[in-house]
Amino acid sequence: MVSMSDGSDLSVGQAARRLGVTVRTLHHWDEIELAKPSVREDSGYRRYSGADMERLQRIVVYRELGIGLEDIRIIVDGSALEAADVLRTQRARLGERIEELRRRGEDVERMIDAYENGLTLTVREQVEAFGPEWDPRWPLQARERYGDTGQWQQYAERAAKRDAADWTRIVQTVSALDAELAVAMDADAEPGSERANALVDRHREVFSQYFPLTRSMQVCLGRMYEADPAFTAHYDGVRPGLAAWLRRAIDARARSEGLDPDTARWE
């Protein structure tokens, strides 16, 4: 026998189990008049008839398609043509939603990449942006050292949005600054002089492309330029003695702003 008239109506619990929904759900559908039991006993108990169950089953099917209850009401109460309309609308909505989530997923992926690898570029793109002496292991080493700091995080957030062209532009500003620093040192500009101070400020601006750099953080960075062989090598590669000169210039600028460079902290 199919499911014609089994004679016995069902309680909410039984109906819910058969439909694979919760009792609360049936209560809700009753409340909003989407599907009421055809009988209420004197005790107030709901009794769902075979016809009720058919309606409920249809509702369950459409709900599984992700259709809202008001639209389901249109489908089960309205004409087949209205129903088809709702379905087509739902198809369109799903398509858009999927596309949106897909794009969002790519963005998340890029962000994770930035967190984990420091860059979202392929090695080929990196070499193109940073020049032939670029070592692709560099960003990973940076992450090992600083990966758990807030600055790395802010760096990653920005890196996630940058493509090869953006990086090329940044590299240009950085090397332009390096060159200007070298020229100033060559011209015996004194740390603390107007020219040196202006360059220190530009250094802070340029570096802030990576992450927000306060003055006291800049002072610490100056120390590192002198203390860390990798940094020293970079600046002294531009011009011997530049790392030390820049450190002194940064210290002088800090003092001119009322900051004691000897007590500066990374924050």
Partner DNA sequence: ACTTGACCCTCACGCGGCGTGAGGGCGCAC
Partner DNA sequence: GTGCGCCCTCACGCCGCGTGAGGGTCAAGT
Q: Is 20 in the site for DNA (CB under 7 A)?
A: no
Q: How far apart are CA 75 and CA 133, in angstroms?
A: 66
Among 28, 110, 223, 248, binds DNA (CB under 7 A): 28
Choose from its own copies, DNA, none: what does 233 bind? Cβ within 5-8 Å by kind.
Answer: none
Choice between 43 and 263, CB closer to DNA: 43
| Other CB atoms within 10 A of residue 196 CB | 22
Contact footprint for its own copies (CB under 8 A): 1-2, 4, 54, 58, 61, 64-66, 75, 79-81, 83-84, 87-88, 90-91, 94-95, 97-98, 101-102, 104-105, 107-109, 111-112, 115-116, 147-150, 152-154, 156-157, 204-205, 208-209, 212
Of 61-69, 82-90, 98-106, 155-163, which part binds DNA (CB under 7 A)?
61-69
Residue 48 pairs in a beta bridge with 10
Q: How far apart are CA 144 and CA 138, in angstroms?
A: 10
Q: Which string of x and - marks every residue 116-145 that binds DNA (by CB under 7 A)?
A: ------------------------------
φ/ψ of 98, rounded to 5, equals -65, -45
For residue 256, give every residue at least 6 positions away whose Cβ sits within 8 Å of its Cβ, in sequence order, or none.
Answer: 192, 197
SS3 (DSSP) at 135 = coil
Amino acid identity for residue 228 in this structure: D
Q: How far apart are CA 253 and CA 193, in angstroms?
A: 9
Among 3, 8, 43, 263, binds DNA (CB under 7 A): 43
Choice between 50 and 147, CB closer to DNA: 50
CB burial of residue 100 (10 Å; 0-12, 13-18, 19+): exposed
DSSP classification of residue 47: E
Among 18, 36, 58, 63, binds DNA (CB under 7 A): 63
Q: Which string of x and - marks every residue 66-105 that binds DNA (by CB under 7 A)?
A: --xxx-----------------------------------
The minimum distance between CB 127 and its own copies, in angstroms, equals: 26
The closest of 140, 141, 120, 124 to 132, measured between CA atoms, is: 124
Q: How far apart are CA 179 and CA 40, in angstroms?
A: 87
Question: Would you say 63 and 25 are in contact if contact means Cβ atoms under 8 Å apart?
Answer: no
Choose from its own copies, DNA, none: what does 70 bind? Cβ within 5-8 Å by kind.
Answer: DNA
Choice between 167 and 245, CB closer to its own copies: 167
Q: Is 162 in the site for DNA (CB under 7 A)?
A: no
The minimum distance between CB 207 and its own copies, in angstroms, equals: 10
Q: How far apart are CA 25 and CA 212, in angstroms?
A: 51
Amino acid identity for residue 128 in this structure: E
Interacting residue ranges for DNA, rule: CB under 7 A: 11-14, 21-25, 27-29, 41-46, 63, 68-70
